[in-house]
Amino acid sequence: MESGGDKKVPGWYKIVSVMIAVLVFVSTLVTKQHVIVDVIGGVAVAELTWFVSCRTNGWKIYRNLVRKAGGENGK
């Protein structure tokens, strides 16, 4: 699994995903459920988790757990 530039994920899907993420950020800020520091912290934690997962092959462990649980059509 490669970080960034994965050819299997269509460009339109990436764009829609970013748009949804931004809308979630804005909605939580506008409704005063969180402050900007929460959003920045959340993005930082997500990026750090992605970085560690890619460097340690943690994604393979997750994939295997999902498969054992019957996800991904049991492949």
The structural domains of the chain, with segments of one domain joined by +, span 11-74
Maximum mean pLDDT: which of 7-11, 43-47, 49-53: 43-47
pTM of this prediction?
Answer: 0.57
Phi, psi of 56 (to 5 degrees): -110, 5
Residue 48 has pLDDT above 90, yes or no: yes
Asked whether 68 and 10 are in contact (CB, 8 A), the reply is no
Share of residues in the chain with pLDDT > 70 (%): 84
Alpha-carbon distances, residue 13 vs 6, 17, 30, 61, 73 (angstroms): 12, 6, 26, 25, 21
The two tokens of residue 37 are 């520091």
User: pLDDT at position 22, please?
Assistant: 92
Higher pLDDT, 13 or 71: 13
* pLDDT value for 30: 92
